[in-house]
Structure 1
Amino acid sequence: MFNIAVCDDMKEITAQLVQIAEQQSMKQIQTVKGFYSGGQLMEYMAKNNVDLLFLDIELGDMTGIDISRKIRKEDHNDTMQIVYMTGKEGYERELFDFQPLNFLAKPLNEAKVRECIAMAYGKWTVRKHKFYYRKSYQVYAVSVGRIISFETDKRYILMTTTEGEERFRATMEQIEEQVRHHGFLKINQAVILNMEYIRQFHKDRIQMSNGKIYYTSRSYQKEAQRTYLKFMD
């Protein structure tokens, strides 16, 4: 089920977001929890899964940046999506590495909040899908949301995930068929990338969240740019 958490030291903001989320017409929303401090939030996340977090950047006890670093260090749900909230500007650059879903300015716009929830929910439903592969006569499954990239490795496919790497026999055509509608981008004959993990997108090269750089073939550049811009919208 889809779980939402809100953390803001302004109680009226937390109450507003909890109310909006609870009214969202999505049957799979299971819990909506509100917190007034980073400490409360981290205590809750130590025992519970959070799929979407609305996080105030300027909390009293911790900044949103501090919390984001702790979330990454303590290996919480790596598919969690974060929407940062602030009454000021200028935090986007500092928070870019955490791949935020969005930024919301205060006072909050209810329509934009609902839009963020719908966007996160849509991405979450995609991430629930499984990618299946065969290795040593066994069939394995991994959530597509945990896959960073596929690339050819001689007669094998090298799959990089948030947990590590796997090599197995398959063709790029077979890979494409499974991930076609799940946010993946083919940038040349040998590489398919999960757009969720793209950190920097240039016309001829792409840097992923794990730091690896891939190069886009000239014949793929226009279509890759069009697909990525559509994904970002």
Structure 2
Amino acid sequence: MIRMAICDDEKDICSFLEEASEKYLEARRMDYSIDVFYSADALRNHLKKGNEYEMIFLDIEMDGLSGVQLGEILRNDIRDDAAKIIYVSWQESYALELFKIRPLDFLIKPLTMERVEAVLELALRLLNQENDYFVYQQGSVQGRIKISEIVYFSSTLRKIAMRTVDEEIVFAGKLDDLVKSLDEELFWRIHKSFIINQMNVKRFEYNNVKMIDGSTLPISQSYRVDIRNKQKKMLK
């Protein structure tokens, strides 16, 4: 079941997004539910009651609470780092403000069916990947863990430490080999000794990154341009 929210104070935009999403999901025979809200305040109240969504189409410019403010509440107060937020706006100037909220995409109005379908395809692919498992080998024992639970990998010599939301798991290997087997859209190398799961980033800064487990990891100078380009790509 895909749970989706659409929040925009323009009813025709809500109708377009709802119809486009229904058409896309029904064509793929997927179970879904879609809730529509005409203000960020209404959606905030609904979320604070414990309701959750895998995807949220969220307008930026609304009377009362803005989409940016609601995004900050979702990430920092409600502490939902998993929801895929797709911002919509008439203006492109908001893009840089949204990095700290880690949206999946940023759509410029007027919307088109092609752009909505493309972002739905990306969101569903990432949701599927996050429910997939990473398989690792500890001596003669093989283990697996949900990809969504991996925060980052670090290495020293020929040992890799995998930090998850609950524990640290150490196994033999090199990051240079590991990075080739990981999905580059989810896992970003930020340093010769660190690979992060970008879906578990709390905040990007110029020379470091804050992860959801409280870790602060350095972004080395040789990777800064690549990381900035990846962030910008996410918002195109």
Structure 1 residue runs without a partner (length 5+)? none
Offset of 1:54 from its aligned partner?
0.6
How many residue pairs align between the two structures? 222
* Conservation of the 8 A alpha-carbon contact between 1:134 and 1:168: no
CA distance in 2, matches of 1:71, 1:141: 29
Corresponding residue for 1:2?
2
* Conservation of the 8 A alpha-carbon contact between 2:88 and 2:109: yes
Corresponding residue for 2:39?
37
Residue type of the alignment partner of 1:180: L
Q: Give the structure-1-normalised TM-score.
A: 0.75
CA distance in 1, matches of 2:162, 2:131: 18
CA RMSD of aligned residues (A): 3.7
Offset of 1:165 from its aligned partner?
4.9
Residue type of the alignment partner of 1:4: M
Offset of 1:132 from its aligned partner?
4.8
Residue type of the alignment partner of 1:38: A
The one of 204, 212, 222 aligned to 2:217? 212
Q: How does 1:158-169 map to 2 (within 5 A)?
A: 158-161=161-164, 163=165, 165-169=167-171
Query: Aligned in 2, Cα 1:181/1:102: closer, same or farther, shift over 3 Å?
Result: closer
CA distance in 2, matches of 1:122, 1:75: 25
Offset of 1:140 from its aligned partner?
6.6
Offset of 1:62 from its aligned partner?
0.6
Q: Give the structure-2-normalised TM-score.
A: 0.74
Structure number with greater CO (CA < 8 Å, separation at least 6) is 2
Q: How does 1:34-183 map to 2 (within 5 A)?
A: 34-45=36-47, 46-132=49-135, 142-153=145-156, 157-161=160-164, 163=165, 165-172=167-174, 176=178, 180-181=182-183, 183=185
Identity percentage over the alignment?
Answer: 26
**3-state SS, counterpart of residue 176 of structure 1:** helix
Corresponding residue for 1:13?
13
